[in-house]
């Protein structure tokens, strides 16, 4: 645009950037949410967040405007600044976004949408997470609620970390409680219903390696009639001192599978499962399954020995936000603090 103006015209440096000044005003009012324009937001930001307009795009327009007004065409500094900005813009535009950044940006956008869609938001923590159980809960509540489990910083960015950048008034208070194993629960359900749901939610499952044993389990010397003779090699691999005696699996000495309060070993975690139908497992092998399929069948079968479920998947509310209220739950807060101190 500069060639359209005379270098001798004293008003030219102020007339040339008029379009940029209009753009600065436009970016500012959209970035502050005074005016909404999804087209501008999506085309000029990386994560679809209108507040990003107040950073890179605004700085870019201001830099070119000031350079034009101060240095104009009479100084090589203006040419150097403009070329540097353009070169940097081309370099960034050619850089592919990392899949991880795209996923995080999508989560941020979804949380922001949930803030607008639901009347209240909760931070929750949990014990013994089971993905399938959580998936079932999500399906059960999908008509009224949304659950997010993502990186702590990603969720904090979406909510806002201070009053200056929070999505809604008071929402930043949730961010400081996103610690340890925690997530976000957005819902239109009444508070009493949510509290009852979280208090009653309890799913028992088999403990995993590293979990703390809730009781001591000891097998006594003698025949193990619940196991067929085909299982004897498998039991030995789990560390049980067994042998075959006239076709019966026999424990040759007392064996402690796990001790209360101590972490479970991989062998103990596999042994603490209910007795399975070994004939079914043998049938799997007869079907000439692929190696990966056979490994999957073996893994599932290895979880079926003693049938003791020592893990309980539970959810605990930590705090609640709504447009006119904020509340902290002492039990959930205590569990988060216990995680941080351990």
78 has a pLDDT exceeding 60:
yes
Q: Tokens at residue 166, please? A: 């929070």
Q: What is the pLDDT of residues 130-170, one digit of tens each?
A: 888 889 999 999 999 999 998 899 999 999 989 988 889 99
Q: What is the pLDDT of residues 277-290, one digit of tens each?
A: 333 333 333 333 34
Give the predicted TM-score (pTM) of the model: 0.52
Residue 230 and residue 173: Cα distance in Å, rounded? 59
Per-residue confidence (pLDDT) for residue 249, from 0 to 100 = 86
Q: Is 73 strand, coil or helix? A: helix
318 has a pLDDT exceeding 90:
yes
Q: What is the pLDDT of residues 34-54, one digit of tens each?
A: 888 777 777 777 666 777 888
Rounded alpha-carbon distances, angstroms, from residue 286 to 228, 275, 291, 301: 18, 21, 13, 15
Q: Which DSSP symbol is given to 162? A: S
Per-residue confidence (pLDDT) for residue 173, from 0 to 100 = 93
Q: Are 108 and 151 in contact (CB under 8 A)?
A: no
Q: Tokens at residue 8, please? A: 């001798």
Residue 111 and residue 158: Cα distance in Å, rounded? 6
Q: Kindly give, in sequence order, each residue whose CB lies less than 8 Å from that of residue 57, ignoring residues fewer than 6 positions away.
A: 27, 44, 45
Q: Kindly give, in sequence order, each residue whose CB lies less than 8 Å from that of residue 215, ignoring residues fewer than 6 positions away.
A: 260, 308, 310
262 has a pLDDT exceeding 70:
yes
Q: What's the rounded mean pLDDT across residues 229-237?
A: 81
């Amino acid at each position: 645009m500069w060639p359209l103006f005379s270098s001798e015209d004293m008003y030219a440096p102020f007339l040339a950037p008029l379009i940029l000044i209009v753009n600065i005003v436009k970016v500012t009012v959209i970035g502050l949410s005074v005016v909404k324009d999804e087209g501008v937001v999506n085309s000029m930001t990386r994560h679809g967040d209108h507040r990003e307009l107040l950073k890179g795009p605004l700085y870019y327009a201001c830099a070119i405007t000031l350079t034009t007004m101060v240095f104009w065409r009479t100084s090589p500094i203006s040419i150097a600044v403009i070329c540097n900005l353009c070169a940097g813009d081309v370099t960034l535009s050619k850089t592919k976004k990392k899949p991880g950044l795209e996923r995080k940006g999508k989560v941020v956008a979804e949380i922001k949408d949930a803030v607008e869609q639901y009347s209240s938001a909760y931070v929750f923590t949990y014990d013994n997470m089971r993905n399938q159980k959580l998936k079932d809960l999500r399906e059960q509540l999908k008509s009224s609620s949304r659950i997010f489990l993502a990186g702590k910083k990603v969720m904090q960015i979406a909510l806002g970390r201070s009053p200056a950048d929070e999505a809604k008034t008071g929402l930043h208070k949730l961010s400081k409680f996103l610690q340890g194993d925690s997530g976000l629960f957005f819902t239109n359900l009444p508070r009493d219903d949510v509290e009852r749901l979280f208090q009653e939610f309890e799913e028992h499952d088999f403990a995993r390696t590293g979990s703390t044993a809730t009781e001591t389990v000891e097998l006594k010397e003698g025949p193990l009639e619940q196991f067929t003779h085909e299982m004897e090699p498998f039991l030995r691999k789990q560390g049980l001192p067994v042998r075959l005696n006239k076709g019966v699996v026999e424990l040759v000495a007392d064996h402690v599978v796990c001790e209360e309060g101590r972490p479970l070993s991989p062998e103990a975690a596999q042994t603490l499962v209910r007795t399975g139908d070994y004939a079914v497992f043998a049938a799997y092998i007869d079907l000439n399954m692929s190696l990966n399929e056979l490994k999957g069948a073996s893994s599932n079968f290895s979880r079926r020995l003693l049938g003791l479920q020592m893990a309980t998947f539970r959810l605990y509310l930590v705090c609640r936000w709504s447009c006119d209220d904020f509340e902290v739950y002492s039990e959930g807060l205590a569990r988060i603090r216990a995680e941080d101190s351990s």
